[in-house]
Amino acid sequence: MLLIKSKILLIFLLFFQYSLFSEDIDSLSKEYPKIGSVLNVSYNFSFSDIRLLQSIKDSIPRYAFGENYGMILGVYYEHPFNYKYALMLQGLYSVHFADIYTNINSNIFLNNQTYNILSRHKLSTDLTSLLFEPLLKVLLFDKLSFIGGFNIGVRFEKIVEHEETIISPDNISFPGNVKTRNLEDNLTPIDGFRAALVGGLIYDIPIDVNEKFIVSPQVSFSYGFSDVARNFSWDVNTFRTGVILKYVPLAEKKNKNKTEYESEHIELIDTIKIRKADIAGNVIMEGVAKSYIDTIRVGNIKKISTVKLRVDTLFIPDITTREIKKEDDSLTIWATSEKSGIFPISEIRIEDFLSTTILPILNYIFFYENSADIPQRYIKITKESSEGFDFKNLINKPTLEVYSNILNILGWRMRNKTKSKITITGCNSGKDFEEPSVSEKRANTVKDYLTDVWGIDPKRIQVKARNLPSKSSTLNDSDGVAENRRVEITSDDWDLVAPLILRDTFRVVSPMFLKFNLDYKKRSDIQKWTVKVFDDNKIIRTFRGEGILPDTVLWDLNERQDVIYDLKKGFYFQVEVLDNQNRLIRSNIEKINVDHITVHKKILINEGDKRIDRYSLILFDFNTAELGTINTKIMNYINSNINESSSVIVEGFTDRVGDEAYNLELSKRRAMSVFKLIKIKSKSAMGYGESNLLFDNELPEGRFYNRTVRVIVETPILNNFDFK
């Protein structure tokens, strides 16, 4: 029996060591050491074949069983290796008694006669011990982990007692007229030593926002490896359940680097415009100034603004056009919204909303065929200019423009996380026309940029090379071949590969489209036509065409939202045509006013407001709808930032590669995999397939960013700021 147990222990220790030091750990999360206290209740059950005892000696098995309850108290330390694996060390004080029972028929010689009796045998011992318990913790999913290891310890008491009690017949007693006697079997404890194999489950529940305090319910089973006494085999096994109260001393450093503070004082004068038909000119009414403190964090920069705001009211005459003498009254232009039909509009509205945007970081660099040079579309800077690299400049930038800074984002993060390390894996397309050696050259090119420009210690960068990526795209399509020509950057440090979380204002233009209606009596008698949009200083947008003048021209206002935002006084538009007689004919000039509704203005006029948060999940691998570990972490973040008053829209997308019908179904499955994890009732999901391509699919990164799910959350705001 001892030989069998020794083999089991050896196999378990080899597995423990392999799991702990495996080089295939793909870790993407940053964890911190934890300390705490342990409180467990134990259910202990024992069994033994006691026929070898001197007082029982028998040739057939005599099995004894027993059960007891106990309590375990202790201290706890957890050392994480990465997001998935951690070492748990526990020092435990276990209060535990063990009793086993069995009934045996035997003969007893009393008063010169032999009697057959049925007696109950009870063996008892005190197993109260001090235990040391090292365990390997392996994350299964979300916050549930498997724990496995062993414990060893010493007992305080080393006495094993054996009692025999006569059950029947009633008229028989032991000498001294007693029903119970103590038997001396020369039971020898094993030097007070205890050992057991341990396996179980543990679930971590953070109880504060910063995850500094954690309650961890656990359940485990201990298989007794050591016998209670030397004379015979007596196994004691234990079920344990209870909680570990954990404290994370370094939790405040989570998702933070050294915080830098910036402050500014701003004086703003905003204006509410109201149209009145009974006034001949503009009338302004000055408002009352109010002050408040506004704080925004971008990366490791915390900006504190002291804002003094005054909102004035401007009453203007209800005149919406600027009359300019026209060369030909038959050519006219007016603006409507896309859905308003023929009714003219004279104003567009830009409304600001507080917003949090999660932007995924694609940790791939793509290369041209047989080339190890970083393509020009990636933004490369000098060593001197790296000192001035600022995350704030990425706010409100298009996704692919942010991605083009991937090497600088990674370099900035590694410079600020001085102990972090990365692995750069070079890959190739797997085709005969591409040299296998180009994989390593590509990886070294990326490494050289990080060491030369960002000053990263080469010892912190491991270079690997392979042919196809471990999760390759299809080889039957030129798009898939291009996607496999890449360098992959991975790290055990979550802060290096985490998505960008940008907090800023999100602007919505209403209407989204402006429709220019064109009317001309001689519509077909022209060579070319032009619609111009301009302000007092510059041309904003131009539409041109040849031949017949169209009825309408549609302008997507979101394409120049940044320009429109700066047009405080509005903008003008006009159409001109060159007819077949080479005469240039211009229409009237019309004006569109811009009403900018800021967050500050909505606060002061008590207008209902809402947050609009936009989350893009880390990109899905080719042809899959599985979330993966990083997306699960993002979903946890999303659920922690919504409430029952929020409404959620989930949109799934694919790239252009593959069958259109299949891609539509794949996008729906991606959306539903996220939809099921949203923990509120007001939610909807839809899939667009390749019908709505978010990014340029001519580029590999554009296709990867299209393999995504977008989550849009709108949450009403009751009170934005505290006024002073």
DSSP string, 654-716: --SSS-HHHHHHHHHHHHHHHHTT--SSSEEEEE-TTSS--S-TTSHHHHHHHS-EEEEEEEE
Q: At what angle do helices 406-416 and 438-454 cross, to 10 degrees?
A: 60
Residues 353 and 366 in one domain: no
**Single pTM value for the model:** 0.46
Determine the average pLDDT of the residues in 524-546.
89
Q: Are residues 455 and 525 in the same domain?
A: no
When pLDDT is cut at 50, 70 and 90, the band that residue 358 belongs to is confident
Residues 404 and 433 in one domain: yes
pLDDT band at 605 (very low <50, low <70, confident <90, very high): low
Alpha-carbon span 301 to 567, nearest angstrom: 29
What pLDDT is stored for residue 723 in this prediction? 32
Of residues 707 and 54, the one with the higher pLDDT is 707
Residues 466 and 434 in one domain: yes
Q: What is the CATH number of the domain that holds 543?
A: 2.60.40.10
User: Do 399 and 529 have their domain in common?
Assistant: no
**CA nearest to 446, candidates 437, 456, 436:** 456
Q: How far apart are CA 569 and CA 562, in angstroms?
A: 15
Tens digits of residue pLDDT in 232-259: 678 789 999 999 999 988 765 544 445 5
Angle at 394 between CA 392 and CA 398, to 5 degrees: 155
Residue 134 has what pLDDT?
A: 95
Residues 55 and 116 in one domain: yes
Q: Does residue 701 lie in a domain region?
A: yes
Return the number of other C-beta atoms located less than 10 Å from residue 401's C-beta. Answer: 11
Answer whether 374's CB lies under 8 Å from 449's CB: yes
Burial 529-568, CB ≥16 within 10 A → b, else e: bebbbebeeeebbebeeeeebeeebebebeeeeeebeebe
Which whole number is the average pLDDT over 121-139? Answer: 90
Provide the pLDDT confidence category of residue 59 given band limits of 50, 70 and 90.
low
Q: Is 20 domain-assigned?
A: no
Distances (CA, A) of 476 to 463, 486, 519, 623, 632: 29, 17, 52, 14, 31
Please indicate, yes or no, whether residues 484 and 445 belong to a single structural domain of this protein. Answer: yes
- Please check whether residues 621 and 587 belong to one and the same domain: no
The burial of 671, by beta-carbon neighbours within 10 Å (0-12 exposed, 13-18 middle, 19 or more buried), is given as buried
Q: Is 551 a domain residue?
A: yes
Determine, yes or no, domain membership for 492: yes
Q: Measure Cα distances from 156 to 93, 94, 159, 190 in Å.
A: 11, 11, 10, 12
Q: Which residue has the higher pLDDT, 233 or 555?
A: 555
Check residue 543 and give its pLDDT.
93
Q: Among 49-58, 236-245, 492-501, 597-606, name the most confident range.
A: 236-245
Assigned domain for 176 exists: yes
Is the domain of 666 the same as that of 557? no
Q: CA torsion, points 694, 697, 698, 704, in degrees to nearest 10?
A: 110
- Assigned domain for 174 exists: yes
In a domain, 85, yes or no: no
Evaluate if residue 323 carries a pLDDT over 50: no
Radius of gyration of the chain (CA): 38
The answer to whether residue 28 scores a pLDDT higher than 50 is no
> What type of residue is 591?
K
Residues 514 and 464 in one domain: no
Model confidence at 70: pLDDT above 70: yes
Residues 6+ positions from 661 with CB-CB distance below 8 Å: 689
Q: Is there a contact between 162 and 187 (Cβ–Cβ < 8 Å)? A: yes
| Residues ≥6 apart with Cβ < 8 Å to 278 | none
Domain that holds residue 41: 37-78+90-139+152-195+219-239
The pLDDT-based confidence of 321 (bands split at 50, 70, 90) is: very low
Percent with pLDDT over 90 in the chain? 25
Pairing of the two strands 513-519 and 552-556: antiparallel
> Which segments of 394-477 are extended strands (E)?
422-426, 461-465
Has residue 550 got a pLDDT over 80?
Answer: yes
- If one counts the domains in the chain, the total is 4
pLDDT for the residue numbered 434: 80
Mean pLDDT of 464-470: 91
Q: Which two tokens stand for residue 77?
A: 């330390």
User: What is the per-residue pLDDT for 268?
Assistant: 65
The per-residue pLDDT for 340 is 60
pLDDT above 60 for 278: no
**Whether residue 348 is found in the same domain as residue 376:** no
The verdict on 63 and 157 lying in the same domain is yes
Confidence at residue 324, expressed as pLDDT on a 0 to 100 scale: 35
Mean pLDDT calculated for residue range 368-389: 91
Any idea what the CATH number is for the domain that residue 416 is in?
3.30.1330.60
* CA max distance for the chain: 147
Position 501 confidence tier, pLDDT thresholds 50, 70, 90: confident
What is the per-residue pLDDT for 320?
Answer: 42
Residue 719: is it exposed, middle or buried by C-beta count within 10 angstroms (0-12/13-18/19+)? exposed
Closest among 454, 590, 445, 583 to 531, alpha carbons compared: 590
CA distance 517 to 697: 33
Peptide bond into 169 cis (omega under 30): yes
Q: State the CB neighbour count (10 A cutoff) for residue 718.
A: 7
In a domain? residue 29? no
For 666-678, what is the mean pLDDT?
86
pLDDT category of residue 642 using cuts at 50, 70 and 90: confident
